Every structure is written in C-alpha cells, then in structure tokens.
Amino acid sequence: MFSRIGLFLAANFGVLAVLSISSRVLGLDAWLAQQGMAGQVNGLLIMALVMGFGGSFISLAISKWMAKRSMKVQVIESPQNDSERWLVETVRKQAEQAGIGMPEVGVFQSPQPNAFATGMNKNAALVAVSTGLLQSMSKNEVEAVLGHEVSHVANGDMVTMGLLQGVLNTFVILFSRIIGMLIDRAVFKIERGIGPGYWIGSIVAEVVLGILAAIIAKWFSRRREYRADISGAELAGKQNMIAALRRLQSAHEPESLPGELAAFGISGGVKGGLQKLLMSHPPLAQRIAALEKL
C-alpha cells in the first residue's frame, strides 16, 4: 500500500531544514566556529544530536496528524454501514492477534488501491484504506492488506525508522558542518569564525549527505516491507496476502503517498537509477516470490 516512510521522510526533511536554517540565522554556527577546535567538535556533536533526533521525533510525533490532513482521511468513529463495520471489526481482530491497542480506522478518497498505517505509539496508531482499494479487492484481499498495515504498527516500524533517521540526521548535520569548516581553513585560510567556504560547503554537503541518508532509509524501509508481508500473511493467510499483492500488480501503478507515508504503505512502483535506490517498497514481483518461498 502506501509508503508511510515517504511522508515521514518529507516531514523530517522539512523540520530538519527549519532547524538547520534557524541555527545559521540565530548565529549558533558562527558562535561554534569561534571556539577552539575541541570546543567546535564537542559543540557540533551536541548540536547535531539535538537537531538530528529532535527533527526525527518531531516528524514522528506529528505523523498521524499530518497523514490525516494530507490524505483527507475520514476516521470511522461510529460505523454507518456494513462495510465500515466489517472494516473496523477486522482491524480490531487483527490488532488483538498482534497484541497492540486498537488503531483508529479511516478511509480516504482515491481511485487507486492503496492503504497506510502510521503513528508514534503502536497502541494509538492509524490504519487507513482508499476507496479504490475497497472497490477493487475482495474481502479476503482487503483483510490481507489490513494485516500488512497492522503488522507495520505491531513491528514498531515507525519508531524504529524514527531512531534510524535520528542517527542519519546527526551524521548529516555533523559532517556537513565539519566539511564547511575544513573548506574555510584549506581554501580561504580562515582560522577562527566562518567564511564563504563554510556557508557554501556546509549547504552543498548537507544536500549530498541528505541524499545518501535517504538512500539508507529507503533501503531499510524495503527490508521492513518483506517483514510486514510475512506478518500480514500470518494474520490474514498467506494465499490472501499473495492475492492482494497480485491484485496491486495487475492494477495501474498506485499513486504515491506524501513523504512520510510512502515507506509504510503496501505498494511501490519499479523505477531505475537513483529512483530505484529511493524506492520505499521492493518490486511487487519480488515480494510475491518471497511469500511463495515460505
């Protein structure tokens, strides 16, 4: 289904950009550059840790709210028909099997078959499906999709991704600043304070290192998809999970979820080059083959 990681990564990038710009505008970077070498390294490390993990956990904390807003999810608070009742009861049953609290259940308008799960707390998560998925899949297939998403929640994938992204953010911030300072000293011969080499070098390094960090995060997301497929098969049946993936495979390529949701959905298109490295989901054919080998 959708990639919850996509939305999370987009939110993380936005928060990190705001924190990074603020540190420059408020003079924190300049103050650190005035310290001795030991003070610079220690100060940079503390700043990188605070900004890196702060940006990640702010993104994680707002993930459910952001998903509801960006996807216009209608949460089912009181089921109005048999379809909604079945949807809520299926998620309730799977949540009990998985040992987690009952997630919020919602539906969003989209002709494409898709779904996602998100939330900072596995006992207060959100599972949402598209109208296109409900219309194009059988109940057994929808149950498998729900099992996949509930498995993401039970496996703690969002929190794990938050921790990983915090580490990646820390390295991006730390090394981009160090690279900027080295350029200042090697090219502009500035021993204390900051010059043009720092501003240009740190910004370019932050972009390049940010792309590398995204590649690592996406690779991790693809590994977690296989695990969610297996757990979903345990909740809803292996053949139902395979049938759901084949249904997605036969459908038109699902539209992408916003940033944060991409990694925790169920589907993903096959791309090439750098795009392939930035896929949040493995190709559906590979996921089907992995399940068939079980």
pLDDT tens, 211-238?
Answer: 999 899 999 999 999 999 999 999 999 9
- Whether residue 37 has pLDDT greater than 50: no
141 is a catalytic site residue: no
Which of these is catalytic: 149, 206, 225, 260? 149
Counting every residue, how long is the chain?
294
Identify the pLDDT of residue 224. 93
Mean pLDDT of 19-31: 70
Residue 73: pLDDT band (50, 70, 90) is: very high
Instruction: Tell me 76's DSSP state.
Output: -
Q: How far is CA 159 from the centre of its chain?
A: 10
Report the distance separating Cα 185 and Cα 189, nearest Å.
4
pLDDT band of residue 17 (cuts 50, 70, 90) is confident
For the segment 176-183, the average pLDDT, to the nearest whole number, is 87
Query: Residue 99 has which token pair?
Result: 């040992």
Report how far residue 252's alpha carbon sits from residue 113's, in angstroms, rounded to the nearest whole number: 9
Between 49-58, 75-84, 128-137, the lowest mean confidence (pLDDT) is in: 49-58
**128, β-bridge pairs:** 106, 116
What is the DSSP secondary structure assignment for residue 263, as one 8-state letter? T
Find residue 117's DSSP bridge partners.
127
pLDDT at 15: 66
Q: Is the dihedral of CA 259, 264, 268, 272 positive or negative?
A: positive
Question: What percentage of the chain exceeds 90 in pLDDT?
Answer: 51
Residue 43 has a pLDDT of 74
pLDDT at 170 over 70: yes
Residue-wise burial string across 32-49, b where 16 or more C-beta atoms lie within 10 A, e elsewhere: bbeeeeeebbebbeebbb
